[in-house]
Amino acid sequence: MKRTIAITTALLCGICVADVAQEFRVPQGATRENTGPLFWLHGTETEARLREMVGRVAESGQGILTIESRPHIDWMRAGWWRDVDIVLDECKKHGMKVMMFDDYWWPSQGMGGKYPIPEKYQCRDVKGTVYWSHEAPEKAVPNEVARIVVKEVDKGVFKPGPDGDKTIIYTWFTSKGNYRFPTVNGLDDEAVDWFISQYYQPYYDRYAKEFKDGTIPGFFFDEPQFRAWWGDALAKELRARGENVGELLTALKFKLADPEDQARALYRYHDARAEVWGRTMYGRQSEWCRKHGVYSSGHFLEHANCYYSPVLAGGNVMQQMKYVEVPGVDLVCRQYYPNQRESRKHQIDFGQMPKYSSSVAHVYNRHNGKNWCEIFGAYFQDLTYPQMKWMCDWHQYQGCYYLIPHSFNPKAPFDKDCPPYFYNGGYEPRYPLFRVWADYNNRCAKLLSDGEHVCHIAQCIPGVSFHAGKTIRPEMFAFAIQDAQLDSDWMGYDVIESANIGKNPRTGRPALRTENGKEFYDILSLPATEYVPFAVLEKALVFAKAGGVVIGYGLRPINTPTRGKESWEVRKIVSEIFAQPTAIFIEGEPDGATLRAVLAKKYPGTDKPLAVRAFDFPGLSAADGRMLAVNHYVKDGRETLFIANQDFARRRDLAVCAKWPVEKAELWDPMQGTIEKPVVENGSRGDRPTGLGW
């Protein structure tokens, strides 16, 4: 029998295990917890209405919901606890779980401006006052954090040094930036502890039983902002790193005369700030949650340049995400549609958002790779189900499988707060299709979670280098990898520096393995950026000398923020890396066909290509390869290929050549919930490849 792939399908190779098959056919229990909506509470709903809406969530195929507090009229007071009690009680009756939103509004840690933050816990900024040195106060001024002697070589441009005739004194002050209300200072331990005591601890005090029995699995934060530039925790970190604080603040608030000094100082300040905020705010939240038997979960602003915004993502969003137990992303406001896969702007701004959360989950092995997307917010009621399926596939092949639809609202359809509303108070005629979509996502997630993500490429991304020198963002290279039917996990510099070099048991090749992750990576791609920490380049050289495959593209690193290292040393080590027989530099940004051709090059001393695949698509042309993505997953010894056709305009006829015994191959259709044998073309048994025609 011939099968045509319409949009996507999943192929499971392995022995059919009865309980897994049954959960796949009819998603139940924990499988349904892979889909669960935001659930609005306003404080004006009747008990009957809340209970009815919880029932609608359950009947629509979802096993969990996240309580959304906006705009509740009595948050964290009697009316709030009354409504939460009702929702918890009704969810227990349906065997459902409940996530708790940790704030009244967004951004999290601001309480919507209605719940005061003591001034000492509010964000702090820094200002620099320039004096003629002979006029500068000799004693420390109030709130002083640093001073530096400089020479002003141009307006606002300074050269530090003992021969300077001016002194800049830096002091901190309380600030809300350009925002309408103050937020908690994530660069201060005491401020974060105060926030947790006020807005996390009360839930445990009231619902300790639900924490312990798993009804409440965790907390959810939403789009926090980073409006502090100073705090005690940052001051301690900079001292521990041996930094000249005055020099770093001069690069931040003014400009250093030497361009290299400016880039290096700016990098080191942003790196320290991002690391401290992540460790202090989200690390301490995660630590509190672990101690109380739940997990911390949330998302930042991940689209467009928000990834790197110092105010919206701390300067490098992955330095925040890595401290979150279950990381997430958000797809809102009609950001991305199927036909926009053709638009470079949309690909860069939105097309790899799922990769952020899935990579952090894989690389740090958070809850067996659990991560999620808050999906469809403000896509409005005209969102179609084929579009929803395409977006689901887009997340699943990138490893982001727990989806939080936006939303189930008890006030719908009489509300304007970010529809679509999938039940919509009974006024949505397509509501039965939501159960079909939820079952589809749950089936996909069942096969693609709690196992091992098989990944070819450790894609080192620029991170804070975005703030120093030229940088090519990583999104288009990630699309090239996917269009070549390979996969990558995105990694920060710290992950590469600490990674171990060993042997991949699947391929026998030298491979990188992160400290906490399960995956082996045969290929390391360097970021296309000028300033790279020297330890990353040293690890790349050791890996290449061991026979590991190293790829560079677009821009070669030419400098480093690492103190004690010079640009000539960077150029020398980069030249040495790409002189190795397993290292390749690609000029410009390759597309999928180009990358596939490059990686078809033979591994030295063998007849095998640089990229070792457990599968392939015989005769796949460059045109057919584009927008055809694969997630290779192993669970309980069963090899799974999730194959996603992301070309919304056409159907495809494909054959896959998989390197495992043909008699064990099965086609699991996540839309229909069926399991059947695929057609075998020119197949054979044993170690030879098996062709499966669809």
pLDDT for res 691: 46
pLDDT for res 653: 81
Q: Report residue 588 as tokens.
A: 């410009």
For 517-532, the DSSP string reads ----BSEEE--SBSB-
| Chain segment 182-226, per-residue pLDDT in tens | 999 999 999 999 999 999 999 999 999 999 999 999 999 999 999
Q: Are 585 and 629 in contact (CB under 8 A)?
A: no
DSSP-derived letter for residue 4 is -
Please compute the mean of the pLDDT values over residues 360-371 and round it to a whole number. 90
- Could you tell me the pLDDT band of residue 18, with boundaries at 50, 70 and 90? low
Angle at 186 between CA 348 and CA 315, to 5 degrees: 25
Tally Cβ neighbours within 10 Å of residue 618: 13
Reported pTM = 0.94
Which uninterrupted H or E stretch holds 442? helix 431-447
Identity at 527, one-letter amino acid code = P
| Chain segment 613-664, per-residue pLDDT in tens | 988 888 888 778 899 999 999 988 888 999 999 999 888 888 888 777 777 7
Indicate whether 7 pLDDT > 60. Answer: no
Tokens 């998302």 sit at which residue? 299
Question: Quick one: how far is CA 27 from the chain centroid?
Answer: 27
- Could you tell me the pLDDT band of residue 554, with boundaries at 50, 70 and 90? very high
Min mean pLDDT across 122-126, 342-346, 573-577 is at 342-346
Q: Report residue 101 as tokens.
A: 């939103």
Q: Are 403 and 35 in contact (CB under 8 A)?
A: yes
Indicate whether 685 pLDDT > 70. Answer: no
CA distance 550 to 529: 15
Q: Report residue 569 as tokens.
A: 């040393």
481 by DSSP, 3-state: which? helix
133 by DSSP, 3-state: which? helix
pLDDT for res 622: 79
Tokens 């798993």 sit at which residue? 214
pLDDT for res 17: 58
Q: Report residue 419 as tokens.
A: 């529809």
| β-bridge pairing 166-174 and 674-676 | unpaired
| Chain segment 276-289, per-residue pLDDT in tens | 999 999 999 999 99
Question: Which residues make Cβ contacts (< 8 Å) with residue 294, sequence separation at least 6?
Answer: 211, 216, 217, 218, 219
pLDDT for res 686: 38
Tell me phi and psi for residue 65, to 5 degrees: -140, 155
Q: Are 353 and 328 in contact (CB under 8 A)?
A: no
By CB atoms closer than 10 A (0-12, 13-18, 19+), residue 412 is buried
pLDDT for res 2: 35
Question: Quick one: how far is CA 348 from the chain centroid?
Answer: 15
Q: Report residue 190 as tokens.
A: 């005491």
| Chain segment 44-79, per-residue pLDDT in tens | 999 999 999 999 999 999 999 999 997 799 999 999
pLDDT for res 652: 83
Indicate whether 412 pLDDT > 60. Answer: yes
Indicate whether 9 pLDDT > 50. Answer: no
Tell me phi and psi for residue 41, to 5 degrees: -125, 125
25 by DSSP, 3-state: which? helix
Indicate whether 687 pLDDT > 60. Answer: no
Q: Report residue 628 as tokens.
A: 């055809």
Please compute the mean of the pLDDT values over residues 121-149 and round it to a whole number. 97
- Could you tell me the pLDDT band of residue 665, with boundaries at 50, 70 and 90? confident
Q: Report residue 562 as tokens.
A: 């690492």
pLDDT for res 681: 65
How far apart, in Å, do the first and last CA atoms of the chain sit? Answer: 8
CA distance 80 to 114: 15
Question: Could you tell me which residues are beta bridge partners of residue 503?
Answer: 510
- Could you tell me the pLDDT band of residue 690, with boundaries at 50, 70 and 90? very low
Please compute the mean of the pLDDT values over residues 672-689 and round it to a whole number. 66
Q: Are 434 and 421 in contact (CB under 8 A)?
A: no
| Chain segment 317-343, per-residue pLDDT in tens | 999 999 999 999 999 999 999 989 889
| Chain segment 492-540, per-residue pLDDT in tens | 999 999 999 999 999 999 999 998 888 899 999 999 999 999 999 999 9
Which uninterrupted H or E stretch holds 193? helix 189-199
Indicate whether 3 pLDDT > 80. Answer: no
Please compute the mean of the pLDDT values over residues 112-133 and round it to a whole number. 96
**Exposure string for 538-556, b = 16+ CB within 10 A, e = fewer:** ebbbebbbbbbbbbbbbbb
Indicate whether 14 pLDDT > 60. Answer: no
Indicate whether 694 pLDDT > 50. Answer: no
Which uninterrupted H or E stretch holds 553? strand 549-553
| β-bridge pairing 64-68 and 97-101 | parallel
* Overall size of the chain counted in residues: 694
Locate the DSSP E strands across 380-485: 402-405, 452-454, 457-460
pLDDT for res 682: 59
Q: Are 592 and 484 in contact (CB under 8 A)?
A: yes
| Chain segment 584-619, per-residue pLDDT in tens | 999 999 999 999 999 999 999 999 999 999 888 888
- Could you tell me the pLDDT band of residue 5, with boundaries at 50, 70 and 90? very low
**Exposure string for 660-671, b = 16+ CB within 10 A, e = fewer:** bbbeebbbbbbb
